[in-house]
Every structure is written in C-alpha cells, then in structure tokens.
Structure 1
Amino acid sequence: MMISEGDLDQLAEIELQKDEEEQEELGEGPAPPGGSSWQDISHPYYDVARHGILQVTGDDNYGRKLIIFSCCCLPPSHQLNHQRLLEYLKYTLDQYVESDYTVVYFHYGLRSTNKPSLRWLRDAYKEFDRKYKKNLKALYVVHPTNFLRVLWSVFKPLIRHDEKLRAAQKGGPPPPAKVPPPRPPLPTQQFGVSLQYIRDKNKGALIPPVMSQTVSYLKEKGLRTEGIFRRSARVQLIRDIQKLYNLGKPVDYEEYEDIHVPAVILKTFLRELPQPLLTFPLYERVQDIVRVETSLRVTKVKQMIESIPEHNYIVLKYLVCFLHMVSQESIINKMSPSNLACVFAVNLIWPGQGSVSLNALAPLNIFTEILIEHYHMVFSSRSPPGQVLP
C-alpha cells in the first residue's frame, strides 16, 4: 500500500512526539559532543556554525576523519535557515570527502520544534551526490527511534545502522588491524616523501615533477574550467596515477580526458607530504591571523611565510603564483581566492599532532586567501636564487 507524503509527515510527527515524551521522562539527556558555540564571526557560515551542530573531532580507529552531527544542537526551526544549513554541511564535507571519512549522527534532541521537514530532508539527500557518498566508509546512528524508521521508509533504506556500534559497546573496540612495517621509499617516489627526498632523487629539481607536470597541464587546459579543484575523481584512478608516478613511469593526462584528474593529483600530492608545505611550526601562528587587524594582515602573512625553509618557500611561491592565475579567471571558473582557499588551506598546513578542527578552518582559509589574492605583495621581496615560476 502506498503512503502519501502527508501521511508520512503525520506519522513522523506522532513518532517524534513519542520520542519527546520519552526524552522528558529521561531528563535532558547527553550533552552534545564538543563545544556548542562558535565565536568566530568571520566564518562564512557563522549564522549556522555558531550552534555547534556539526563537529569535526579528529580521526577514528582507522585513521578516517570523524564528522559528528548533533540534533540536540539544532535551534528551533524559525531560528535556522535550513537551506543555509545544507550549504554549510556541503561546505564542511568538501574539506574531507576526497579521503575516507566517518559520520556519527546523534539523533537525541530532535523535536517537533527544530526538525526540518521531510521534503527538505529528501531534497537535501539528493544534493549529496556520489562525490559525498563514495568515500563515506561508516555511518553510525546513535539513539535511533521509531521516527528514524519513518525516515527510512522515505529514503528506501538509504541508511543502515551499523551493528558494530552495539558490539563495540558490549565488547569494547575491535583490535587494531595489523600493519606491516613500512618499506623504504623507491628512488622514484613522489607521494608520501619529503620535498628534500624528491629534490635529492631528481637531480636537484626545485619543483617536484608531479607539481610541475600538473600545474603546466592545468595552466594550458584548465584555467577556465568551472569548479576546477572542487570536483573529485575516481579514487582507484587517482591511486593508479600515484603508482605510476612512484614507479617513475610517464603520466599523460590527455589519456584520462578529465581536467579534474590532474587537479586532484596536485591536491593529493600536497596532502600526502610528511610535513605540510607551510611547515608544522607555522600552524599556531597561522591560527592567530584572526587576531591581527585586517589592514595589517597582508604584511603579517608576508613576514610569516618568510620564516619557512628556502625550499618550501620556492615550492609555495610556485604553487601560489599558479593559484593566483586561476583566481584571475574567476568570472569564468567561479574559483575566487576565497573559494580556492577553502580547497587548498587544509592541504597546505595542518597541526603536528591530531587533525585540523572545525574551529581552525576559518583562520587557515583566511591565511590562504591572503596568499592567493595578494600574491605579488606577499612574495615581493624574498627571491631565493634559482627559483622557478610557473
């Protein structure tokens, strides 16, 4: 028997009222994980982020980024623009979806006063295309109720509660997987080795071959591609190309007929460096950029990057010069310095311990945006001998 959307809405409301009655009997319930407020008004989605609905809290036992959605942090519906919430969700996930990640959904705290409509939930799900789903390795639903079963009938079981969660609660976490000892890198290795290693193995080349090849190709073919650096590519294809580079074999991007492939390879190369291009010591100083008066930030950024090692500076200048060129075509490619910063910030710098928290994203993005937008001013004085520009 077919159930109309109106009937589903009514059924969902009945079940949600039952949930509320149970919650009231149990008390206030568990507190939201992490902080529930956001103090940085410069965040592009401050109006949504300040509620603490979404938290990026580090990695799970398998090294996958852990993203938490807490219903108890949802304000009453009249206080929250749900379209903005959807944009904020995508904005946050865009930082991580090219690698494996895990989502934990805390259902407790969803009430009739703060729940989005079923129509919004259905439309929102359609917005999350394969880009967001392909690397989602685990979805944990905590505190499931009959209301969720109604949702499952809407989404035709798109979500499956992971039984491992209950098993872990009873028997503790699963034993860590055995990892074989690391093998020494190949002489031709490009990914996962230091800039110095690549330079030593490539006759002193200042710019790593994978960077020079992808940048050259993208300069020629991709400057006017809409959404360049925002799109993803097949994970297995990227791994195959990485393997070719690591084995010292040629890579011809014309074969793949997809301009987004070299774009993803460039980001992947930066992300897999043992130490970020901007170096670990600079991380805390970058976080302080939001405390610097706006008119002084360009000068401050210039001073900060002049403190990094010469080789890092050369490679950074090469990369940012190219990104500045991309931004000059933003009317066509839709990649302004701000948009490019959202993509590249987490690939240029991260902390020595742990991972980038959601709170840290705003200063990282601001810093990177200044690098790109004010390229000529930031890199105006320090000119190491032998530097190479795109």
Structure 2
Amino acid sequence: MLDSDAEVPQEVLAEYEKLLKRSYTENFDDLYKTDLLKVIGKDGYGSHIVLLIPCFIVAAGADPEKTLRYAILTLDPIVKENYVLILCETHTNWLTDAVYAYAKQWYDTLPRKYKKNLKNLYLVHSGFLSKTLLTIVTPFISPKFWKKVEYIEKLEDLFLKLNIKASKYLKYFPYIVQRNEEVMLGGQPISPFGADLEILCQRFGKKYLHFKHIPSILIDFLTHLKKPEIINTKDLFNLQADAATLYGIVGDIEYGEPTTDFNNIPSLVCSFKLFLNTQKHGLLGKDAFSRLHYLKSTSASDKVIKLNLSKLYEKLSQGIKQCVLCLLHFFKTISEHASENNMTILALSKIFAPTFFRSKTPNAIFTECISLANKCMQMIIQNPDILMNPENKSDESKSDESKSEECKDENNKINNESDEDSNESYSSKESSSKPSSLDQTSEYSSSILSDKVIKKKVSIKKSTSKRLSFDHSIKSEKSGDSKNSFLSEKTDEQDDSYEDSEKEEEGKKSKKENLKKEPSSDN
C-alpha cells in the first residue's frame, strides 16, 4: 500500500545511499537542459516547489536509472523540509514503458522522508486515462496519502493554491504546458512564430549564458547552431530547405513537441531565420527604419550613427534588449569560424540587416538604405557593446577635456598679463612720493588679484586705463604745471598765493608807464 508513514526496508535505504553517492560524480547536463525536474522556489507557506514534467523523459533520451539518480541528486537537499510536488501530465502517456518504469522505480526507492514531508501532490492537466488509473489503484492508497492529491485544471488555480505570483513563476512552465492549457480552454494558442519577442521573454524566458530572460525556443536554436558539426558548415546561413522539411520542423516547434529534430541543418537554419523575421518590425524597434533613412539622407558620420544606434537600443524593452545582445554575440561567435563556414561579419550583415532594421510594412525606400544598414550591422556585430556604451560618449569627453585644457591655457596667459601689468604699476608707484598715489596703486593691484579669475579681460582693460591716468598725473607733477595742480581740491593757501601773484604783475606794469612819462617832461 502507498502509505507515507510506512517504514522503508533497510535494503532500500542502502540502495538509495548507493545511488546518491554515484550521482555526485555523474554528468547530468543533458537532463538539466530539459524541463524534466526542477526546484523552482518556495510557495507562500514556506514549502519547496518541485515541478515534474514526465513527457520530457523520452526527450532526454536517458535510461530510467540515470533519470532516477538525477532526481535523487536534485531532491535530496530539500526533502528534509516540507515540499509540494507539481506533476504536469501534459502529453504524458502512463502506459509507456519509460514513464511507468521511471515513476514506479522512483517511488519504490525513495526513503520515508520523501513521502512524509510531501505536503501536497498537484496533478495538472490530468487526462481521462490518468484519472481512471488513479481511481483503480485507490484501494491500495492510504487515506492519508489520498488527502494530499489535488487535481488542477488551470495554472491560474495552481498559483492561487500555492499563494505565489503568476508573473514570477509562469516562466518555469514550458511552452508545451502553457500551449496545452490554452487549447484545453478553447483559446488561441500562442505561437513562437509571430509572437512579440517581449511576450516570449516574459512567458518562456530562461537563463542563458549571462542573460536572464531569453525565450526557450531561441535558446534551442542557438544551442544547436553552436554545435561543432553545425557551426563549421560551409555557407551556413545561406542554406535552403525544401518546403516539406521546413513545414515539419515548424509544426513540431509550434506544437511544442519535446522530440523536435534539430539535426537537419538546412531546416534548422531556415526555421531560425523564420523565427526572427516573423516579428512585427525590426529587432531594433519600430523606429529603426525611419532613423536609418534619416541618417542616409543627412550623410551622417560614424560617430552620429553609433549614437543613434544606442538611442534605438535604449528605447527597447528589457527582454528585447537581452535578446538583441545575445544574438549579436552569437553572430560574432559565428564569424570567428569564417574560415570554415564563410560567414564573415560582412556576409552576416548582408543576411541579417533587414532583420534588425525592417519596417513594419513593406517600403520601397529600404533599397536606398541597404548599404547603410549593412554598415550598421557590421558595427554592432564587431562590437555589440556600442549599443550600451557608444564611442561618441568617450569622444565627447575627450573633446571636453581638450576644451578645458585650452581654457586653462588662456586663463594662464591672462593671469601672466595681469601680473605683468601689476608689476609695472608697482614700479611706477615706487617712483612716486605722494601717499595718495600709493593708495591708488595698492587699490588697483588688489582689485586685479581679486578679479583676475572671474573677469580677466575686463580687469586688463581697467588696469591699462588706470595706469595711463596714473602716469599722466606723475608727469604733471614733475613739470610743475599750476593748471594741473588746480584739478585737485583747492586749499585757502593756494587761493592767497594766486591773488598775490596778480597784484605783483599790476605793480610792474605801473612802474613801466611812469618811466616812459619822465623823459617827456624833461624836454
């Protein structure tokens, strides 16, 4: 009887420990890349969430014992605590040998802690056959275990049961599960071909390399295209597939078939290009074509082109940004094998330029921009980081630094000129003996020192005008000009001396007149 409280025989525990030790040294990369078994987090009540999708057992191509060891290695760290198991029965036939053997052997080998700490078993998208089989074995299932089993028809109900956010956990359910639910509910199922790339990132985004939200279908394409036997194929992206073969692989991808054959290179290449070209517009956004046409009409420089490409990238949503960078790095990797596949950066640019700059509706003007589109593609394939850090920003900073250095040189020249003027005024100040002139020169020099940083040119003009007036006052004092001395403020003594000089001149004139009159009187 399937009883969670029943003790497991010692030989079963010994077998479990043996399988666990063996799993530590085994490579499970082929199983880890599938969606067979994942621990996706914790629910709103603190229990670990384990997601099991049996339909990927056949897709993994591994024997039941290896998948069992993979399950033991994955679950052993968490089964000591409470956990819930989500069993998605999408496209699962329990009558097949692989699925039945996997389920039976796994359950028989698991120790008691696996069964005791299991809080709930959610059967998602259960078919008529699975419900019938479960009903038949009901007498062999303990009531305690039966209370843990719940049927779930919609993922929305599952998220409510677990008290988790759909926006965070929906991406863990692969395309085949989400599509099957849409079909069961009578809705229009989503298709990888033609669906907006941002929606694919949100619903099916997975971690790939250093990118966090890449659609699973795009990961499948890139993973297979990077295989050594495929990446070195001559004229890789110029290959063509016949209609029947292409129709077959596209149908399998749309259906979500786990056993899709990606080993046919021409059909793989054509379906990859079809996936990219079925987007509503170019990958750089709806404004990519209009911006490209504007750059063509204005004969923009490389610096301006890079700046505009960066602006187009900044307008994209977060998911599309990651997809664009992921594709550009992929193309760069392809170009590194150009000696084998003839896919140089120029060749890749000619093939995929319309993919990035295509307008939403066909436009005959695009033919005028083909050369510029190819040039832009070469730029971003050679250096994808241009989109995030365009070189023009560094150029602008360099130009700003040069301008600041020029300004510093000009300021130094102005400072030197002002210092020379202050020295000249200081020398002329020493030649003067009047305290008033000393005060004027000291005020002048202090004004220069205070204003030479803010208003250099104005201070120089003021200094020259003040120096001229100062020199003129010195010359007038040396020549003894009374009229120049009259420009200063008058004192009472200066007024008296001026009146005495006038009286002396009148006395001299009267004496001369008397001398002229004396000889005439003698005659």
- TM-score bucket of the superposed structures, by smaller chain: 0.3 to 0.5
TM-score, normalised to structure 1, is 0.45
Higher Cα radius of gyration = 2
TM-score, normalised to structure 2, is 0.35
